[in-house]
Structure 1
Amino acid sequence: MSSRADINAILNKLSRLAPAGYFVGLHIRFAAPLLQFQTYSPQWTDHYSANGYALRDPTIAWGFSTIGACRWSKFPLPDPFDILGEAKRYGLRFGVTVSLGPISSRSIASFARADKDFTDSEIDTISDHVRRLHDMTEPPESLTKAQSEALRCVAEGDRHAAAAAKLGITESAFKARLISARERLMARTTAEAIQRAKDFRLL
């Protein structure tokens, strides 16, 4: 598991390669990614969400069916709702989608620009960055006993002081266990950590 700084450094490089924005969904399990990042304009993301495009998006369907990289202009799948055509109206005129990882933990990422299509070299660089993000954010196979106990206490409704007393540790030690669990699960909050632990059947 890598630090947020390491992840952000790669995302900054991707931002420079995709000036019209990107969407990166890492380790998609049970239809939801472990982590997701996106820099598309609010106008496009609002339009995309309002029309429920995620369920019809050919880039996502392609990503679940294929490993590799494909320019949007060469997409082999039908686009009956003309989502890629709609994207052009919002400045996403040229794009590429990258898909990698096992189907049980697939990462799918799309990148766009308004001025020109992506070169083969740019696609190779983007693919390398996505692969690094995928590898860096591999979900943990397990939690330590201390981490799982701390998360379980909060999940059951215990306040920090009560949970610490239950476990026979100080409140500061209990908080340290929660921090450790959040870092291991790459979660910003304890609630998010609990949900991820449940999703990965670690709790």
Structure 2
Amino acid sequence: MSIRAGGGNLVRGAMDKLAFDRELKKLDNFAEAGYFLALHIRFTSPLMFFQTYDQAWIDTYSEKGYVLRDPMTAFAFSRAGWTRWSNPRIPDPFGIFEEAKAHGLKFGATVSTGPILSRTVCSVARSDREFEDHEILTIEVIVKRLHQMVEPTHRLTKAQAEALKLIADGYRHAAAANMLGISESALKVRLAAARERLMARTTAEAIQRAKDFNLL
């Protein structure tokens, strides 16, 4: 299965990227029918996500808006820890698990870690058998390690915050630079530094993340 990923350039440096990819490979080895990994979910939006489920299931899940009705969503945001999809104490009133079985996701487990305001959630699936306890515990260790690898920044320099705030307030580059008493090229350097620190691809994305982290 191919990996579908989203998010910015969150893993920086050759060694970090290699280590991150190794952890993803370990996760893939456990999830014979694919996995979903959302790292540092803040206000429903993850900093980075990966999914290797069957494409038909990804499309069905998205088109039917199952994320809002998925029992594992409720589980993941109500506590940190892990559970199997077959847990009889977790109701599935919309029959999502049964529908997933038709796409090869017959057995699964979900791991939730991190604080509620920056939660990481991972679901893994198999088509042949239930996950054993020791396998899920190992997956939990992998997920916690991935969570730590992409820990979001919580600080901007004063210069970066000022530049980002002016753009967020609607000022054009020339006007913002003039207000700060710097050249337009210097302003762009500050904005680029803010994007890098916030692991954002665009200034608009950096502004949103800065707001999410209460940095503006």
- Rounded Cα–Cα distance in structure 2 between residues aligned with 1:61 and 1:51: 17
Q: For structure 1, which segment, 143-152 or 29-38, has the greater mean C-alpha deviation from structure 2 after superposition? A: 29-38
Structure-2 change in CA distance of 1:7 and 1:145 (3 Å): farther
- Rounded Cα–Cα distance in structure 2 between residues aligned with 1:105 and 1:169: 35
- Rounded Cα–Cα distance in structure 2 between residues aligned with 1:94 and 1:188: 36
> Which residue of 2 is the match for residue 40 of structure 1?
53
> Which residue of 2 is the match for residue 150 of structure 1?
163
- Rounded Cα–Cα distance in structure 2 between residues aligned with 1:13 and 1:158: 46
1:46 Cα offset (Å): 1.4
Q: Does 1:183 align with 2:196?
A: yes
Structure-2 change in CA distance of 1:176 and 1:42 (3 Å): farther
Name the TM-score, length of structure 1 as normaliser. Answer: 0.85
Q: For structure 1, which segment, 97-106 or 6-15, has the greater mean C-alpha deviation from structure 2 after superposition? A: 6-15
Q: In the alignment, residue 181 of structure 1 is paired with which amino acid?
A: A
- In the alignment of these two chains, the number of paired residues is 203
> Which residue of 2 is the match for residue 131 of structure 1?
144
Q: In the alignment, residue 102 of structure 2 is paired with which amino acid?
A: R
Structure-2 change in CA distance of 1:113 and 1:182 (3 Å): farther
Q: Does 1:58 align with 2:71?
A: yes
> Which residue of 2 is the match for residue 11 of structure 1?
24
Structure 1 spans left out of the alignment, 5+ residues: none
Structure 2 spans left out of the alignment, 5+ residues: 1-9
Q: For structure 1, which segment, 48-57 or 163-172, has the greater mean C-alpha deviation from structure 2 after superposition? A: 163-172
Alignment of 1:25-174 (within 5 A): 25-74=38-87, 76-160=89-173, 162-174=175-187
Q: Percent identity, aligned pairs only?
A: 59
**1:122 partner SS:** helix
- Across the aligned residues of Structure 1 and Structure 2, the Cα RMSD in angstroms comes to 2.4
Question: Which structure shows the higher helix fraction?
Answer: 1
Name the TM-score, length of structure 2 as normaliser. Answer: 0.80
- Rounded Cα–Cα distance in structure 2 between residues aligned with 1:83 and 1:93: 11
Structure-2 change in CA distance of 1:20 and 1:2 (3 Å): same
Structure-2 change in CA distance of 1:7 and 1:156 (3 Å): farther
Structure-2 change in CA distance of 1:147 and 1:58 (3 Å): same
